[in-house]
Structure 1
Amino acid sequence: MIFKKGELFNGPGGFAWGAKHAKVKHPVTNEEFTIEHTWSNDYCDSACDTYIHNICPDRPDTVHRGDVRSLKINELDKIDAFIYGFPCNDFSLVGEKKGFDGTFGPLYSYGIQVLNHHNPKWFIAENVGGLQSANDGKAFIKILTEMSEAGEFGGYRLTPHLYNFADYGVPQSRQRILIVGIRKDLNKEFKVPAPTHGPGREFPYETAFDALMKDPLVADAPNHYIPVHKPRVVEFLKHIPEGQNAWYEGIPEELRLKVKGARMSQIYRRLDRNSPSYTVTGSGGGGTHMYHWEEPRALSNRERARLQTFPDDFVFKGTKEKVRQQVGMAVPPKGAKIILEAVLKTYAGIDYDHIPSKWNIDEMLQKPNMEELVLL
């Protein structure tokens, strides 16, 4: 069975790469379950160029460029599956956390429009962990309520969970909320796949060293521009041990940053080669570019892409800053593939190891305030 997939806010194609490579075969019937790109949308031209190049080079017209508010959702081709990582700017733990009061917060509603018109069999929505506390928790409840009631087949059975992708073999500590919904009339319920990596699990964590050094990058790898720093920055980095940041006490006084107010932990933070990296981000000024544990420099975009599990032949289009933005905003393809294959197994009726979701969805949809929820 092939699920025809639509996407909003497609970014460079992290989820789409996972979907393109996800495949499940039923052990008895031998029926294959796969996912096929049908259409997508993003307002960033560079992200659309990247998506087309890597996901659907033979069908560029299926990637709709422009603001989602101008997209004619009702005229898009029929789909069976839907994925959207609605913009997280207003829900992020870093920043003002405006929630629904910001420019980007209300954009989740365009995904609801897709559910109401196209009635896909299943969907996945993705956002940052800060979504759970935006607008005093009311934003999360409102979004879940609208998702659960969407469509013409009695709504969707939801399984929201806070995933750390490091637990699934991504060499990066990256926490994101994923909401998986399956149409209620199908009588199927998605279960959170059990973590596979970390202490006491089948595999150890994938580390920054594993990602960058087990198969060293060649000098001419795509998007592998090595940053060149001013001598003062190089000297500054030399005094920061791996795993430490700009506030390390051993930095000479004359080199220390003069900063008033909050001291963010990722500023000039060097990777620890023996652990998953900290979260790859897509924006920020000096000191936020992620820094090598040994060499006194920031990472290249290709190295950041490896921490995100993009394969080396996945080419990003646009300027260095646009590429950095795309890499940092994407869902790790390896993590996406694991979640999508769990969805396919759910639909195929194939059992897999699973854990309880972080939230009890039935209680969530009955409670008006996030603070009253019972966490599992």
Structure 2
Amino acid sequence: MKRAADIFSGFGGWTRAATSAGIDVLWAANHWPDAVFWHAANNPGTIHVCQDLHQARWDQVPAHDLLLASPCCQGHSKARGKSSGNPQHDASRSTAWAVISALEFHRPEAALVENVPEFTDWALYPAWVAAIQALGYQIAPHVIDCADLGVPQHRVRLFLVITRSRAPLMLELHKRQHVAAATFLDFDAGRWSTIEKPGRAQATLDRVRNGRQRFGDRFIMPYYGKGSGLTGRDINRPIGTITTLDRWALVDGDRMRMLSANEALAAQTFPADTLRPDNHRLTMHMVGNAVPPLAGQRVIEALQKAA
């Protein structure tokens, strides 16, 4: 496999992964102009299209050996707090059908689709799989914690390996040693504030106190009461999932701050020279949606080895 197309390309996690694995990403598309702009800034040699992929002109996409896709996950993810089958997310879930359209037109050798594990609970998932099989492909689901692939972040995701093989192709993904959050946290940078200050929520103060009892003066904690419970996390283990909104706070003695955009990029394994907007919220949104490049690279390399 030498050439790829990246649909729902977002901030470019799949593209970075493929490039690192020696694959040329010829074409990338996304419906969000900001994501397309920054994807193009980081990947100037790739053809970019900004469009609703329901309306894609697949005849204008260069021929490729590998299709990469991360359809919208919001309609499936429990993190959104929406009940299964919520009609508000019908349009979001339907983006997955663009994968079928792309496969039908170009018939690449293989495809890799990333989403949340709840994707397989979708009422139409059996029909989606049947459509892929009708095109002559086999599909092998892999549920992977990206920390097991060397990403300094616990991020459980579904990787669907779609191949023209006689049976579903299960990849050999060797478990790597976990990488600590301390490898990318910078306690000498950022905008810190005093923990004990007027207006600080009591729940936050309680989490800080509990975290100190378990981990000492330096640790990470969710800024709200979900995720790592009421205590936080040791900086010598991977951080929890990087989301599209500010979630993780760093505590250092009597001060605290939120995770910076650069630290979030590093937690996702984007290189330090990755171009990004100055807007913190926009960066966090795009980074939180991305495939961790290192995880994607190792999945692609395992596919190359097995193919």
TM-score by length of 1: 0.69
Give 3-state SS (helix, strand or coil) of 1:335's partner: helix
8 Å Cα contact 2:192/2:256 also seen in 1: no
In the alignment, which residue of structure 1 is the partner of 2:157?
176
Give 3-state SS (helix, strand or coil) of 1:193's partner: coil
Q: 1:43 to 1:345 in 2, by over 3 A?
A: same
Give the residue type in structure 2 aligned to 1:5: A
Query: In the TM superposition, what is the alpha-carbon distance from 1:141 to its structure 2 partner?
Result: 2.2
Q: 1:159 to 1:206 in 2, by over 3 A?
A: same
8 Å Cα contact 2:206/2:230 also seen in 1: no
In the alignment, which residue of structure 2 is the partner of 1:91?
76
Q: 1:315 to 1:232 in 2, by over 3 A?
A: farther
Q: 1:290 aligns with which of 242, 248, 251?
A: 248
Q: 1:281 aligns with which of 243, 246, 263?
A: 243
Give the residue type in structure 1 aligned to 2:250: H
Is 2:56 aligned against 1:71?
Answer: yes
Q: 1:315 aligns with which of 275, 299, 306?
A: 275
How far apart are the structure 1 equivalents of 2:115 and 2:247?
22
8 Å Cα contact 2:151/2:292 also seen in 1: yes
In the alignment, which residue of structure 2 is the partner of 1:208?
181
Equivalent runs, 1:321-360 vs 2, <5 Å: 321-347=281-307
8 Å Cα contact 1:5/1:79 also seen in 2: yes
TM-score by length of 2: 0.84
How far apart are the structure 2 equivalents of 1:318 and 1:110?
32
In the alignment, which residue of structure 1 is the partner of 2:26?
38
Aligned residues between the structures: 291
Query: In the TM superposition, what is the alpha-carbon distance from 1:149 to its structure 2 partner?
Result: 2.0
Query: In the TM superposition, what is the alpha-carbon distance from 1:192 to its structure 2 partner?
Result: 2.4
In the alignment, which residue of structure 2 is the partner of 1:192?
171
Q: What root-mean-square deviation, in Å, do the aligned CA atoms of Structure 1 and Structure 2 show?
A: 3.0
Higher CA-based Rg? 1
Equivalent runs, 1:1-376 vs 2, <5 Å: 3-22=2-21, 34-55=22-43, 57-59=44-46, 62-94=47-79, 95-99=81-85, 101=87, 102-134=90-122, 138-150=123-135, 155-184=136-165, 190-197=169-176, 203=177, 205-212=178-185, 226=191, 231-232=197-198, 237=204, 240-241=207-208, 244=211, 264-265=226-227, 270-283=232-245, 288-294=246-252, 295-317=255-277, 319-347=279-307
Query: In the TM superposition, what is the alpha-carbon distance from 1:242 to its structure 2 partner?
Result: 8.4
Give 3-state SS (helix, strand or coil) of 2:96's partner: helix
In the alignment, which residue of structure 2 is the partner of 1:359?
none
How far apart are the structure 1 equivalents of 2:126 and 2:143?
15
How far apart are the structure 1 equivalents of 2:194 and 2:29?
36
Q: Give ranges in structure 1 of 5+ residues lacking alignment.
A: 23-33, 198-202, 220-224, 249-256, 348-376
Q: 1:99 to 1:306 in 2, by over 3 A?
A: farther
How far apart are the structure 1 equivalents of 2:228 and 2:262?
19
Query: In the TM superposition, what is the alpha-carbon distance from 1:112 to its structure 2 partner?
Result: 0.3
8 Å Cα contact 2:210/2:230 also seen in 1: no
Give 3-state SS (helix, strand or coil) of 1:89's partner: coil
8 Å Cα contact 1:5/1:82 also seen in 2: yes
Identity of aligned residues (%): 22
Q: 1:169 to 1:234 in 2, by over 3 A?
A: farther
